[in-house]
Amino acid sequence: MYQFAFVADLGVLSYFVLFALLAVSGLGISFGEELMLLLIGYLSYQGVLLLPLAVVVAYLGVLAADSLGFHFGRRLLRSFPRLLRWRPSLMRKSSGIRQRLKDARYVFVSRFIPSARMVVPIAAGFYGISWRKFFRCNVFAAALFAPALVALGLYAGPQISRIMAFFAAFSEVMFLALAIFAVFIVVRVVRSRAADAQ
């Protein structure tokens, strides 16, 4: 069983630390969103955190993570407007992705799909989807997702070790996928600039 006595020693500061770790998970940093939410539930189970406050921190942290991802994607779009002009086939694919992201149901459902959860906020920002529309969908999706995983961590109790190990492994896969995507983007930008310079 995991022991987190040091978290209790942090007092109120522990809530801010957990919020920050959740927020940066939207960029692929920290231990992954699922693992953090399970941990918050487990810490509530152990009595380290107050459950009502823990749920609020989890919800706000998830919203912050997706918001950071969205604005990161928006920043990419503004910084590298030629990223979508690599070749006609990519432009057609990009157009299809943009159309799906304009559907509020797609943004909502993606919150519950592990492979899309971290990518969709970045893609929504990247393809210029309205921030207000994205945030409105995400508010409702996060209101279901965050408390559900906190509750899972709370009621899993002694079995939390197995669950945390599973999500830790999955988070590593997602981080690797994000790293490969980032390298792909950088290589394309460098090649594009080199071609322009010739």
Read off the pLDDT of residues 17-75 as tens digits, 9 standing for 90 and up. 889 989 888 776 766 788 889 889 988 888 888 899 999 999 999 999 999 988 888 88
Average pLDDT over residues 10-22: 86
- For 194, how many CA atoms within 13 A lie in the half-sphere containing its CB? 6
Which residues span the domain enclosing 130?
Answer: 5-197
Ramachandran angles phi, psi of 127, nearest 5°: -90, 10
The pTM for the full model equals 0.68
Q: What percent of the chain has pLDDT over 90?
A: 15
What are 63-112's pLDDT values in tens digits? 999 999 888 888 876 666 555 554 444 444 455 566 677 677 778 888 88
Q: Count of domains in the chain?
A: 1
- Among 144, 115, 152, which residue's Cα sits nearest to residue 39? 152
Res 143: pLDDT: 93
Q: What is the mean pLDDT of residues 162-189?
A: 72
